[in-house]
Each structure stands twice: as structure tokens, then as C-alpha cells.
């Protein structure tokens, strides 16, 4: 008797959980969104590197020092990353929201996952295509040898102290792609209203 009472409850819980797992066409859409955003992130790494001009520094006593006139260019790497990432996230998510009309919740989860991956790929590709780390090269360079900076972003936020604990808070550069992507989804969903499988359907025959 106890087995008969427990089985329906377990089966119902399994059915409820399966609702949140993408399957069939919805699962394919989920994969397409993630792959599209990841590919966009890799392409944006190319764009980021091509738009950036490396500031110059010099080696001195096995260390690398950025020249004062290169400071604006050094900061521009982070600014360019944010600008390109927000624009790309916005455009790609708008296209995704217009093409895929099945389930807004699944699309949102896919966009969040894909845009997070895109943010990392954009940095990884751009950094890899840019100049090598001058701090490593300076170890074997002669004093005053010119060395360009590598392509990187400033992701170190303010430090918050709680007693003896010091926490470095994250900053916004890596959140730029997800932020642009969510803005694009919100724009389409607010303009066009409820879409796809979540939209109310007409009376069935």
C-alpha cells in the first residue's frame, strides 16, 4: 500500500522537473542560441583586437614599465571591450528573440549561458591575438628595450574589508556582453509582447 501511495507523487515530481529541461525542438533552439552567442563572442574578440592600438612600454631591470603617454591606450582596452560586447550582445539577442519564438524562459536561460561564454571567448581570443605579455618578455630583455602592452582588461574592482577579511569586488567588463544580451531580449519582448509557446492560443477545434 505504501508503494502505491508514494509512486504517483514521485512520478508527478519527475514530470514537474522535466518541464524545466529543454527537449526536442526547444532543446535544439537552446543549443542554437548558446552556439550563436559563443560564435559572436569569438568574432568580437577579433574586432576588439583589430580596433585596439597597443601602448608602448620599456623593460628595465627585468621588469616592464608602461610609458606615461601609453596610459590612455591602456585604459581604452577595457572601454573598447565593454563597447563591443554590449553592442554585440544587444544585436545578437534581438536576432535570437525575433527568430526563436517558442519559450521565453528557455531562451532567457540560453542567452544568459551563451552570453557568459561569449564574454570569456571574446577576451580569450582578443588576448591571444594581441601582443605577448611584456612582463614575461622583460625578464629576458635588455634595459630600455621597447615592449608593447598585451591586450587585457581591468577586472579588479574595489576592495571591501570585513575585519581581517579583504574581498575584491568584481567590476563590469565581463558583465557587458550578458547585459547587452538581456537588454536586447527585453526590448523585443516588451515591443512585441508575449510570443511563442507562452502566448495565449486561440480556441482549439
pLDDT digits (tens, 9 = 90+) for 4-37: 444 444 445 444 445 544 556 778 889 999 999 9
pLDDT at position 204: 44
Question: Is 126 within 8 Å of 151 (Cβ atoms)?
Answer: yes
> Could you report the per-residue pLDDT of 83-121, keeping only the tens digit for each?
999 999 999 999 998 888 767 888 899 999 999 999 999
Burial group, residue 78, by CB count within 10 angstroms (0-12, 13-18, 19+): middle
- Find cell 616592464 and name the residue: 64
- 3-state SS class at 97: helix
Distances (CA, A) of 51 to 87, 91, 133, 160: 14, 19, 19, 34
Separation of alpha carbons 105 and 189, rounded Å: 11
| Of 119, 122, 92, 121, residue with least CA distance to 107 | 92
Is the pLDDT assigned to residue 57 strictly greater than 60?
A: yes
Return the percentage of the chain with pLDDT > 90, whole number: 36
pLDDT tens digit sequence for 152-174: 887 655 455 555 555 554 567 89
By the 8 A CB rule, do 142 and 63 touch? no
- The neighbouring-strand residues paired with 59 are 64
Record the cell numbers describing residue 46, joined without a space: 577579433
Q: Is 100 exposed, middle or buried (CB count within 10 Å of its CB: 0-12, 13-18, 19+)?
A: buried
> Using CA atoms, how far apart are residues 77 and 48, in angstroms rounded to an integer?
8
Amino acid at each position: 500500500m505504501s508503494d502505491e501511495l508514494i509512486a504517483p507523487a514521485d512520478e508527478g515530481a519527475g514530470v514537474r522537473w522535466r518541464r524545466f529541461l529543454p527537449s526536442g525542438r526547444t532543446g535544439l533552439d537552446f543549443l542554437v542560441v548558446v552556439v550563436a552567442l559563443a560564435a559572436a563572442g569569438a568574432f568580437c574578440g577579433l574586432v576588439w583586437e583589430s580596433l585596439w592600438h597597443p601602448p608602448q612600454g620599456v623593460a628595465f631591470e627585468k621588469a616592464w614599465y608602461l610609458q606615461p603617454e601609453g596610459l590612455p591606450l591602456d585604459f581604452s582596452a577595457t572601454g573598447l571591450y565593454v563597447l563591443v560586447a554590449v553592442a554585440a550582445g544587444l544585436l545578437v539577442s534581438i536576432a535570437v528573440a525575433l527568430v526563436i519564438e517558442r519559450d521565453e524562459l528557455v531562451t532567457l536561460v540560453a542567452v544568459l549561458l551563451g552570453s557568459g561564454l561569449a564574454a570569456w571567448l571574446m577576451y580569450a581570443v582578443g588576448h591571444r591575438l594581441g601582443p605577448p605579455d611584456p612582463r614575461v618578455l622583460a625578464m629576458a630583455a635588455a634595459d630600455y628595450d621597447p615592449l608593447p602592452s598585451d591586450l587585457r582588461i581591468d577586472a579588479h574592482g574595489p576592495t571591501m574589508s570585513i575585519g581581517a577579511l579583504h574581498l575584491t569586488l568584481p567590476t563590469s567588463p565581463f558583465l557587458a556582453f550578458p547585459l547587452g544580451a538581456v537588454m536586447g531580449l527585453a526590448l523585443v519582448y516588451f515591443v512585441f509582447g508575449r510570443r511563442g509557446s507562452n502566448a495565449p492560443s486561440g480556441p482549439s477545434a
